[in-house]
């Protein structure tokens, strides 16, 4: 099965490059978008089927999801024109600038992929040695489970007492994502065989409880739809990274994705009511059972899934904003770094500088293209993701777009190698940072601040590792306490150490 999948991936990759070549020659957005998806997905599939178990990593995942954002979702939009879902995709595009906008978007896959391929060829499987990451904070399996439960407990404690962590700025991510990191860590321990049989039920039950609690919170007490996605993502990622996706697991994940697509649409339709708890449950129930899609026939269920899928693809498409980016650059000229002024102060914590300006690139872009209005109190009503490649281009042109995306991939590669995901599977700090890096790969960024995000996560990893090493008295330069992975596809990197 693996050799066949690897050959199919190579064929998809080859077809994708030919489509991209034709798309750039004729500036055809349909060819460009389809080629972008095939190249991103084909490259990720090639890494997934590589004999080295560490080959499928964060950079490969970035190529896969960027292929969706800048490829498949845009392709679905282009072919929906004059069709059933045209109004879902087409709303605020600049028609004359769509070809160049898609050519720009395709760079978000082509450039990082090329950089990662060159890096892999030069390093030949050897991870980059990151200065300051010499401490191995691998825990005994039982302590790794305890660390995961503490992460979830910290997140729930902050919620219970209404602590939002705004004063910590970017560093509040640990408060927001602790429970998701716990799901990720516990599932990894189970897949790696690190948990003794007598404790597997407890660990499995803990992971399930945290997962259900996070989904419950995301559905009924949050206005951000992505809060319902990250727990499912944290559950599925270990299966993907450990290459444990068989037919049964694949069907289960596909069903979860279909359910999320429906939920994503319904949450969007009810978000304007601004209600939570029981009131929101009643509202969601009415929405799910109303109208033509509210019946229980097979056709109505399929129709609801189709609508949810189209809505999700439209939400992740980027041709609208990229066409507007090209239009702004044509009318105003390149901005020369004007929208990147936040880089001068973004690393200063808000508790040090309470009046630190907010990073409002999305709001600025929405106002610039006329996608919103000011309320009576002076608050703007909307924010639109300009995308990293779009912001690089708007400031510095094509050269800036290429250079910016190359730096993004290099930072992602450094962060992933610093996390030591493969050869330190029982290091909760590194694995938590690995999850944050994976999240960056899925949501490829609303603006160029994703570079700051990656750098901050790298800094957090090194500082946390260093602090824990000093507290534990383990600051020596000794090697890892975990044997490096050398298992075949589908192997268990953590096998041999049990809780």
What distance in Å separates the CA atoms of residue 304 and residue 294, rounded to the nearest whole number? Answer: 8
In a domain? residue 244: no
Q: State the average pLDDT over residues 422-427.
A: 72
In a domain? residue 186: no
Kindly tell me the burial class for residue 125, based on how many C-beta atoms sit within 10 Å of its own C-beta (0-12, 13-18, 19 or more).
exposed
Q: Name, in order, each residue with C-beta under 8 angstroms of 120's C-beta and a sequence gap of 6 or more.
A: none
Q: Tell me the two tokens of residue 396.
A: 């510095």
40 in Cβ contact with 64 (< 8 Å):
yes
In a domain? residue 122: yes
In a domain? residue 181: no
In a domain? residue 88: yes
What distance in Å separates the CA atoms of residue 146 and residue 136, rounded to the nearest whole number? Answer: 18
In this predicted structure, which of 168-177, 290-299, 333-342, 418-427 has the lowest mean pLDDT? 290-299
Q: State the average pLDDT over residues 76-82.
A: 94
- Go through the chain and tell me how many residues it has: 499
Q: State the average pLDDT over residues 196-209.
A: 93
Which residues form the domain of 74? 2-174+319-336+338-472
In a domain? residue 302: no
What distance in Å separates the CA atoms of residue 399 and residue 336, rounded to the nearest whole number? Answer: 12
In a domain? residue 34: yes
Q: How many domains does the chain have?
A: 1
In a domain? residue 300: no
What distance in Å separates the CA atoms of residue 421 and residue 493, rounded to the nearest whole number? Answer: 10
Predicted confidence (pLDDT) per residue in 244-279, tens digit: 888 888 888 888 888 888 888 888 877 777 788 888
With b for 16 or more beta-carbon neighbours within 10 A and e for fewer, the 378-396 pattern comes to: eebeebbbbbbbbbbbbbb
Average pLDDT in the chain: 83
In this predicted structure, which of 6-20, 294-308, 376-390 has the lowest mean pLDDT? 294-308
């Amino acid at each position: 099965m693996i050799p066949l999948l690897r050959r199919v991936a190579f064929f998809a990759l080859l077809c994708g490059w030919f489509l991209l070549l034709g798309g750039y020659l004729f500036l055809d957005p349909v060819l460009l978008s389809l080629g972008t998806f095939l190249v991103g997905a084909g490259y990720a599939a090639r890494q997934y089927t590589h004999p080295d178990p560490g080959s499928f990593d964060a950079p490969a995942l970035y190529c896969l999801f960027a292929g969706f954002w800048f490829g498949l979702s845009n392709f679905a939009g282009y072919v929906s024109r004059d069709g059933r879902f045209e109004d879902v995709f087409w709303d605020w595009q600049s028609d004359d600038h769509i070809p160049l906008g898609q050519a720009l978007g395709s760079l978000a896959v082509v450039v990082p992929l090329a950089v990662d391929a060159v890096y892999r060829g030069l390093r030949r499987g050897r991870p980059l040695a990151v200065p300051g990451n010499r401490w191995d904070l691998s825990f005994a399996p039982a302590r790794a489970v305890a660390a995961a439960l503490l992460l979830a407990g910290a997140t729930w404690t902050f919620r219970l007492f209404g602590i939002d962590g705004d004063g910590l700025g970017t560093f509040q991510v640990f408060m927001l994502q602790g429970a998701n990191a716990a799901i990720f860590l516990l599932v990894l321990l189970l897949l790696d065989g690190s948990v003794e049989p007598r404790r597997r039920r407890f660990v499995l039950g803990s992971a399930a409880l945290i997962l259900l609690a996070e989904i419950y919170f995301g559905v009924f007490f949050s206005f951000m739809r992505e809060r319902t996605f990250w727990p499912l993502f944290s559950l599925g990622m270990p299966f993907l990274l450990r290459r444990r996706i068989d037919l049964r697991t694949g069907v289960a994940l596909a069903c979860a994705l279909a359910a999320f697509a429906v939920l994503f649409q319904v949450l969007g339709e009810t978000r304007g009511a601004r209600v939570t708890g029981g009131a929101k449950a009643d509202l969601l129930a009415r929405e799910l059972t109303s109208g033509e899609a509210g019946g229980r026939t097979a056709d109505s269920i399929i129709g609801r899934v189709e609508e949810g899928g189209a809505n999700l693809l439209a939400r992740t498409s980027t041709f609208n904003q990229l066409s507007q980016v090209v239009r702004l650059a044509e009318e105003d000229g390149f901005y020369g770094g004007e929208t990147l002024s936040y880089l001068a102060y973004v690393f200063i914590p808000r508790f040090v500088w309470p009046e630190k300006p907010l990073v409002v690139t999305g709001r600025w872009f929405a106002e610039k293209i006329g996608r919103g209005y000011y309320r009576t109190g002076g608050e703007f009503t909307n924010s639109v993701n300009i995308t990293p490649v779009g912001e690089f281009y708007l400031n510095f042109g094509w050269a800036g777009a290429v250079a910016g995306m190359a730096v993004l991939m290099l930072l992602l590669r450094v962060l992933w190698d610093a996390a030591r995901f493969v050869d330190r599977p029982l290091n909760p700090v590194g694995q938590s940072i690995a999850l944050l890096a994976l999240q960056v790969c899925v949501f490829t960024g609303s603006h160029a601040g994703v570079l700051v995000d990656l750098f901050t996560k790298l800094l957090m990893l090194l500082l946390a590792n260093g602090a824990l090493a000093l507290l534990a008295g383990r600051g020596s330069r000794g090697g890892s306490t975990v044997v490096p992975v050398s298992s075949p596809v589908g192997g268990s990197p953590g096998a041999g150490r049990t809780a």
